[in-house]
Structure 1
Amino acid sequence: MALIFRALREEQPGPKLAGLFREFWPAYHRWWASEGYVARPTYMECRRTIATHMPEMLALYDTLAELAGGSDSAARFLSLYCPPKYLSGCSQAIWQGDEPLLVRNYDYSAKAFDAVVLHTGWQGRRVMGMADGLWGLLDGVNDAGLAVSLTFGGRREVGEGFGVPLILRYVLQTCETAAEACATLSRVPCHMSYNVTVLDHARDFATVYLTPDREAIVTGTPVATNHQERVEWAQHARFTATVERERFLLSRLTLHPDRQERFIDAFLRPPLYSTAFGAGFGTLYTAAYRPRAGRMELLWPGLRWPFTLGGFEEGARHILIPEG
């Protein structure tokens, strides 16, 4: 199948975002309502929780809800508060060189993926990254020189909290350093287990283990795959080869350190690059972030697509995804 990746720029919420929402809402709604409306929090619960944990985002949330049509279900969905559960694969690591560099693979189903690189200037802060759920982010960078990325944490537990893409958006809207990002990640509730790696312009970095039932753990590891301190879901770990990928990345960083381009290229080959598209865990894209330069690059075997915060250009790329 052909997956169309689009790059869109809209400094303030407007017709481009409204158009995206109209396009994706049928699929969003099916997923959000898959367990019934009563399984999801009410609009007032959603808005109150954003006001409590992300007060800087409340006005933006209200604007986006109105832009999406103002319906109860759309507003509840956009809060990304206590959404249905979802799993992904993914690998990410920080290259240990002079220039800050975060590289990640996003492994997920092509049928449940927005494939939109979004550049925004909301609240006076320029942010670009891979969008999810209209305003959430799977990874991204801001104009303060902070980059973030997520992987699934390999635990079954589901609790009360936000979908992690909105948490990443919140971090990039409000934080400038890795230390600030870690503090924010440690206090905002996340509804499932995720590993969030942060890197700033000064080369400070951390990986934060988020869970719905335990306190967040801030670590100094430069690598994250699909488990946290230990494997807790053995079947998922075997299927995604999370331990093997982690060992491979740690080896590339320590035992056999690569130059920058060789390190990036390693993400485009096994064992990091996955072709398990039929099982919903194929590598949909590789992203390389250079936060000091405000640069982002999307990569696939044989193709590179660069972006900058200062000179972001809209466009599209057709990427062939295997059906099997």
Structure 2
Amino acid sequence: MLVSLQCVKEDKVGEKWQKCFHKSWPYYKNWYLQDNLLARPGYLTSVGQLEKYMPELLPIYEEVVRLAGGGDLVARYLSMYNPPAFMSGCTQVAWNKPPFSLIRNYDYNPKWFEGNVFCTNWLKPVMGTSDCNWGLLDGINGDGLAISLTFGGKTISGDGFGIPLIMRYILETCTSTADAVACLLKIPSHMSYNITIIDKQGEYRTVYLFPGKTPFVDFEKVATNHQQKMEWSAYEEMTLTRERKQFLDEMIAVPGISREQMQSKFLYAPLYNKDLYKNFATLYGVQYDIEELSATYFWPYKSIKQSFDNFKEERVHVNINNLNKRDFGKG
């Protein structure tokens, strides 16, 4: 199973973004219409909610809709208001000892991975892993604010935005962890997610989002795929969410453990997942370095480093099926 990661630099939304959109649109279209179009909010409702909660993004929204070909369906999809449910299995930690960093693994079905890393300057410099074409799974901005998401482990969905667009909005408009938390407290998410944030001062929080309820803000460095109360035992068992969190909590408590040692743990079980039969494999790991304003994407035997000052447009391929050359289970 080949995972491909394409690194794209484009300051403003343009032809490069358009090309990426048209490549992935057939798959996103099928996903968006899985419950038929009537299940999704209308255009006026969607744009009205975007204007209410994320008005700074409206000019960019209008441009992405135009470059995507326009029309009602595209406009409703790109608003990311009340999209279909989606979930993933991820692990993340805010490293608040110098040099400050955010480290995470992203576990998902490789067949549905967009595979783009964008370096942009829409409202401010932002670099991160793309999802839903103009949203983000994780990223860092020019102010040294880094953010990452994990699925919260609850099946309930409600009225709100798809989390990738909220992530994009935070990095486009916020400069600190406090700013990001304030955004998460006011913008509704349509599903439960755990958002870990760290800024250039080393201030960190994990915010637990749940549709229809006030988010819970915690001084928590580690997030996996559950919140305070576990409600989906089958998902907990499949993703080993509690085992992963316990493992990282124990690693953080080890006296003298370095950031490099911590990052290396993400290449071993239980954090590293290569069980393709569950349709949740570790597609990439990434470490955002706050001081360097850089992102290092890593896999067993391979890594690439990007930064705002030195961003190289390239494509990297990783064959997950060939990552069995050594035992990752004894890390």
Q: Give the TM-score normalised by the residue count of structure 1.
A: 0.97
- Give the Å deviation of 1:276: 2.1
- Aligned residue in 2 for 1:220: 219
Asked if the contact 1:251/1:257 (under 8 Å) is kept, the reply is no
**Alignment-derived partner of residue 15 in structure 1:** 15
In 1, Cα distance between the equivalents of 2:96 and 2:172? 26
**Which amino acid in 1 is paired with 2:307?**
T
Once the two structures are TM-superposed, the CA of residue 6 in structure 1 deviates from its matched residue by: 0.5
Deviations 1:2-32 (A, max 9, x none): 2221000110111011111111110010000
What SS is found at the alignment partner of 1:90?
strand
CA deviations over 1:248-289 (Å, ceiling 9, x no partner): 000000145521111100001101000122222110000001
- Residue identity in the other structure for 1:212: P
* 2:216 alignment partner AA: I
Q: Which runs of 5+ in 2 are unaligned?
A: 325-331
Q: How does 1:282-301 map to 2 (within 5 A)?
A: 282-301=281-300
Cα distance in 1 for residues equivalent to 2:217 and 2:279: 29
Per the TM alignment, residue 310 of structure 1 is displaced from its structure 2 partner at its CA by 1.7
Q: 1:138 is matched with which residue?
A: 137
Where in structure 2 are the equivalents of 1:106-185 lying within 5 Å? 106-123=106-123, 125-185=124-184
Look up the match of 1:306. 305
SS in 1 for 2:38: helix
Once the two structures are superposed, residues 122-142 of structure 1 have per-residue CA deviations (whole angstroms, 9 ceiling, x without a partner) of 02x000000001110000000
Q: Greater shift after overlay, 252-261 or 92-101?
A: 252-261
- Superposed displacement of residue 229, structure 1: 1.3
How many angstroms apart in 2 are the aligned matches of 1:22 and 1:47? 22
The answer for unaligned runs of 5 or more in structure 1 is none
Tell me the CA shift for residue 51 of structure 1.
Answer: 0.2
> In 2, distance between residues paired with 1:256 and 1:42?
54
Map of 1:29-178 to 2, 5 A cutoff?
29-123=29-123, 125-178=124-177
Q: CA deviation at 1:39?
A: 0.3
Other-structure match for 1:259: 258
Maintained 8 Å contact 2:96/2:203? no
**SS of the counterpart of 2:213?**
coil
Q: Which amino acid aligns with 1:276?
A: D
Partner residue of 1:235? 234
Letter in 1 for 2:46: C
Alpha-carbon contact 2:97-2:202 (below 8 Å) kept? no
- Residues 198-251 of structure 1, C-alpha deviation per residue, up to 9 Å, x if partnerless? 000010000000110211011000000000113221111111111110000000
> Which amino acid in the other structure matches residue 166 of structure 2?
I
- Structure 1 residue runs of 4 or more that deviate by more than 3 Å after TM superposition: none
Is 143-152 or 290-299 further displaced after alignment?
290-299
For the aligned residue pairs, the C-alpha RMSD in angstroms reads: 1.3
For the residues of structure 2 that align with 1:231 and 1:143, how far apart are their CA atoms? Answer: 36
Distance 1:299 1:3 in 2: 12
Distance (whole Å) between structure 1 residues aligned to residue 287 and residue 126 of structure 2: 15
Aligned twin of 2:327: none
TM-score, normalization: structure 2? Answer: 0.95
Whether contact under 8 Å (1:142, 1:291) holds in the other structure is no
Moved more, 112-121 or 271-280: 271-280
Amino acid at match of 1:104: R
